[in-house]
Amino acid sequence: MCSLEFLLLAISVVKAFINPVGNELISRSLEEPNCTCPLQAQQACPGHCESGWTYFRKTDACFKVFYWEDFDVAESICDMKGGHLASIHSFEENEFVIELAKTGVKGDNYLKGTWIGLKQANYPLSMEWSWTDGTKVDYTPWSPGQPNDNKGVCAQVFCDYMVDESLVYRKWNDTKCSDKMRTFLCKKAALH
């Protein structure tokens, strides 16, 4: 188990709030604790993130929003930060990503979406989708009629309400990897 000192320090540096979807505990780390849990107790110790990243307990991962890049540059930035474009594996994680990346401004075109790490890496030889972090594709809330492979081999999620496109709100779309999206989300393992 973690020491009482660690728990008190963690409480003093973490501001917690409840996500409206599923009452998932989310924390924003203000600074890193300067102690670590014993190796055998790491699973019981709470994860945390470096400053500027947001913790999602269910996947024990840290997320951060960045702005206006194409897919490949976005993935490179995430890689330099120690992660990948976000992979999403559940309804709860999708809702967490949406809440984190939304701007509150109604979108008027698909460039207002958010890059996630889903891509058809071997297109046109293969139509198979894969996550840039190598995890299994096990959740795909595509918008109606998507993916339609209309020059799109990279995936985005619509985090803000789209004018005249209510059916795509909170759903995924395939689009050209060379398009610069308003936001992209990096994901990496939490610190212990």
The average pLDDT across 163-176 equals 67
Q: Is 8 exposed, middle or buried (0-12, 13-18, 19+ CB in 10 A)?
A: exposed
Both structure tokens of 46? 């709470």
Walk me through the domains of the chain, giving residue ranges and CATH numbers: 4-189 (3.10.100.10)
pLDDT in tens, 171-184: 788 888 998 988 89
Rounded CA-CA distance 13/17 in Å is 13
Confidence label for 107 from pLDDT (cuts 50, 70 and 90) = low
Res. 187: pLDDT tops 50: yes
Backbone phi and psi for residue 12, each to the nearest 5 degrees, phi listed first:
-75, -20
Strands, E, within the chain: which ranges? 14-18, 25-29, 54-56, 61-69, 84-85, 114-119, 130-131, 154-157, 172-175, 181-189
